[in-house]
């Protein structure tokens, strides 16, 4: 069962959409279920100044990716790279254990997006 905060982030995703003039874009998926996340980032010097996402996925995937975008906006790339799926789950007030893998791949996509920029 999802808590109220997860349901809110799933029902009203923050930072959903795309950035046409993004400095970095990456896409990745969960090979187990086929869900997909795409991230768009605006980067100034070593800071993430804007981030948006598109996702085709379950509630945990969308809520986690939405939370991730809030967590990294305004952060230095080096700080953003330290965020784990456990941090996302904590930010959301907890995720069901069987849904923790759903929050894994948004952090993987973020790392893929930021490769070589830290
Ligand atoms: Fe696919 Fe959650 S079931 S990411």
Ligand 1 pocket test, candidate residues 9, 35, 89, 100, most atoms within 8 A of CB: 35
At 7 the pLDDT is 97
Task: Give 45 Cα–ligand 1 centroid separation in angstroms.
Answer: 33
Q: How does 44-83 read in b/e, with b if 16+ C-beta sit within 10 Å?
A: eeeebebbbbebebebbbbbbbbbbbebbbebebeebbeb
Q: What is the pLDDT of residues 6-53, one digit of tens each?
A: 999 999 999 999 999 999 999 998 888 899 999 999 999 999 999 999
43: CA distance to ligand 1 center in Å?
28
The active-site residue out of 25, 33, 49, 118 is: 33
Residue partners of 98: CB distance under 8 A and separation at least 6: none
pTM: 0.94
Q: How far is the centre of ligand 1, averaged over its atoms, from the C-alpha of 29 (Å)? A: 9
The whole-number average pLDDT for the span 106-114 is 90
Q: Which ligand 1 atom minimizes the distance to the CA of 60?
A: 2
Is residue 33 part of the annotated active site? The answer reads yes
Residue-range domains of the chain with CATH: 4-114 (3.90.1010.10)
């Amino acid at each position: 069962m999802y808590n109220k905060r997860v349901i809110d982030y799933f029902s009203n995703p923050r930072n959903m959409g795309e950035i046409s003039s993004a400095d970095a874009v990456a896409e990745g998926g969960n090979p187990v279920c086929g869900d997909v996340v795409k991230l768009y980032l605006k980067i100034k010097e070593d800071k993430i100044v804007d981030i948006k996402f598109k996702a085709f996925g379950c509630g945990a995937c969308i809520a986690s990716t939405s939370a991730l975008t809030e967590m990294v906006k305004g952060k230095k790339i080096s700080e953003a790279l330290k965020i784990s799926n456990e941090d996302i789950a904590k930010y959301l007030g907890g995720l069901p254990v069987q849904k923790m893998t759903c929050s894994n791949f948004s952090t993987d996509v973020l790392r893929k997006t930021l490769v070589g920029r830290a």
